[in-house]
Chain A
Amino acid sequence: MSEILLEVKNLKKYFDTPKGKLHAVDDVNFSIEKGKTLGIVGESGCGKSTTGRVILRLLEATGGEVLYKGRNILSIDKNEMRELRKEMQIIFQDPFSSLDPRMSVSQIIEEPIKLNKLIVNKEDRYNRVLELMDLVGLSRRLINTYPHELDGGRRQRIGIARALALNTEFIVCDEPVSALDVSIQAQILNLMKSLQKQLGLTYIFITHDLSVVNHFSDDIAVMYLGKIVEKAPSEELFTHPVHPYTQALLSAIPRPSLDKRSEKIILKGEITSPINPKANCRFSNRCNYAEDICRETEPSLKEISPGHFVACHLFDGSK
């Protein structure tokens, strides 16, 4: 039945800084079934983008395992990784800086096919580019234009076409619609959804926008300072958030409606430094429910109902 495509175990990524070790990703665990979307949400600096990059080995992990189709890709060599990259791709946030301004649309989309010697015949390659443009809804007349001539929505479509150019099965989408206007954002989200259905793609969807992630993902993981604090199916997470941080995050979303004026939970202070963090709950200094145990020991991720995980001392049975 459901086949696990990607499994992440105890993933860690630390950066060395003059002040000490910055724990960007600290012991993260999750798995994604084939054809599903995992949303990773959190605020700036929580490690969500780093997680995406470490999974694709765009950054080397400090520790842990990334099992793709059962194989730990953190330990394979360069050539094997190059093979795997044909299946694992990324879509970047900013369609203004992620495309080479000196390459035309056809060259940008063609490049990965050419480099990986997927289609050697020039004419076949040209046809494949046209096919990809049709797939992502780029009009064929744009084939010889350059990125600066196009608006953000079209540029993001180029980024998607390029990510799909190989035998892609898995895509890390790093804030793919954050730079776009709402009306264009909806066009791109709908496109990505229909491509997923059509091609059976598996996504990791990284974003800070909670309404987008709710709309788009099957499961959602909430990150705070390098840790997953709560993970659950989207419906469950939005109807029964239990971690105090998730609750505050959800209540902080400005809702475009006049009814449902729920009381906002306003958090005190701001995110603390991820450099040399103490071994306690990293949210404890902003948490309204924090007790001594929260400041002293680190909570682990526990399943409180099927599929619903939370890392909080309020729920670990010690209370």
Chain B
Amino acid sequence: MNDYLLDIENLQVQYVTDDGTVSAVNGIDIKLQKGKTLGLVGETGAGKTTTAMSILRLVPHPPGKIIGGTIRLDDTDIFNISEKEMERMRGNIVSMIFQDPMTALNPVITVGDQIAEAIMIHQKLNQEKANKKAEEMLELVGIPGNRRNDYPHQFSGGMKQRVIIAIALSCSPKLLIADEPTTALDVTIQAQVLELMKELKTKYEMSMILITHDLGVVAEVCDDVAIMYAGRIVEKGSLQDIFLTTKHPYTEGLFNSIPNIDNRKAELKPIKGLMSDPYNLPTGCSFADRCDYVMPICREKSPQKIFFSENHYTECHLYATDIDFKLGRHQE
């Protein structure tokens, strides 16, 4: 028996282009329990969205190619089912909220019809019942039901994102993947949408993967956090593990790069340099060139997972020899 809703093992995804091969995801493992929220954090190009697309089996092919690993979703090995079966899973078992609410909706179809479409396909309801359900979904996300005959351009950004959430939730999926759901929104609207998502998550006992680069949002919503860098999960643990006992130098660097809102005198300590070229990842640890703690071994061998507790691990050589090694951030 498997009590994980989602179980990703050693997932590897590449994009083969004329300029070379991009290793976007390089062997990641994610286990997610029912009702839990995982934050997937990292910068542009870390492989967050590619990971999400793999779970939906929507990695564009070509150029994208899943070259290894397995994904079990709700006890189904999704790489071993037909496209038809996969279609049935999308929407019903797993659905996704995309980053940009301005482009994710069809401009020439009313929002009500866009919500009803998903319901008709997946729940086999007739138009009339689907329309009714669409209206309920709109009410659920805080939009008056009588606006279902309006077109997307008649809604503001925050409301469009609510419509997208309504579509994603219309078939009560077990897993919701939200790719930067609030990045395009203003803070006061972001607060409204995050509140709504938290509420709905509890109501439907949904699991959620929240992709974001904003550690503030993570602190608000997530139970577990995975920090991604150059296609690997470099540190994973509970919210407390990541925020209070940070282990990986990259995680530390992320925290030190954010202006501290409660102490404006604190100096920013940026991570030096840039993310390594995904066409040509270095041997050893991908973060070595930007790391303040780099050792000779980091450039030779890829680090292995080192566990601090059942749930908290990091991939870093610093702890291979000395498990009690302390990063600068916590000596202050």
Would you call A189 an interface residue if the criterion is a C-beta within 8 Å of the partner chain's C-beta atoms?
yes
A175 to chain B, nearest CB (A): 13
Name the interface residues of A200-230: CB closer than 8 Å to any CB of B. Answer: 208, 210-212, 214-216
Stretch in A49-57, A64-72, A257-265 with 4+ CB within 8 Å of B: A257-265
B interface residues, how many (CB within 8 angstroms): 46
CB closest residue in chain A, given B215: A256
Q: A183-B271, A270-B156 are in contact. Are A264 and B43 (CB under 8 A)?
A: no
A252 touches B156 (CB 8 A): no
* Bound-complex Cα distance A249 to B188 (A): 6
Q: Chain A contacts of B156 at CB under 8 A?
A: 270-271
Whether the Cβ atoms of B219 and A266 lie closer than 8 Å is no
Which B residues lie within 8 Å of A248 (CB)? Answer: 188
**A181 sits at the interface (CB 8 A):** yes
List which A174-214 residues lie within 8 A (CB) of chain B: 181-187, 189-190, 208, 210-212, 214
Query: How many whole Å from B181's CB to the nearest CB in chain A?
Result: 13
A208 touches B258 (CB 8 A): no
Asked whether, in the complex, the Cβ of A43 is within 8 Å of the Cβ of B192, the reply is no
Q: Check B191–A258 contact: CB distance below 8 A.
A: no
**Which of these binds chain A: B172-180, B238-246, B323-331?**
B238-246
B159, B195, B239: which contacts A266 (Cβ < 8 A)?
Answer: B195
Residues of B within 8 A of A266 (CB): 188, 191-192, 195
Check A240 for interface membership: any CB of B closer than 8 A: no
A-B contact pairs, 28 of them (CB 8 A): A43-B186, A182-B254, A183-B271, A184-B270, A186-B256, A186-B259, A186-B268, A190-B267, A190-B270, A210-B187, A211-B258, A211-B259, A215-B261, A235-B264, A248-B188, A252-B191, A253-B261, A254-B219, A254-B220, A255-B262, A256-B214, A256-B216, A256-B218, A256-B219, A257-B219, A258-B239, A264-B195, A267-B192
Give the interface of A toward B (CB within 8 A): 43-44, 151, 153, 181-187, 189-190, 208, 210-212, 214-216, 234-235, 238, 248-249, 251-258, 260, 264, 266-267, 270-271
Q: Give me 9 other A-B pairs in contact (C-beta within 8 A), A254-B194, A254-B214, A271-B156 excluded.
A: A181-B213, A182-B258, A183-B270, A211-B258, A215-B261, A238-B262, A252-B188, A253-B261, A256-B258
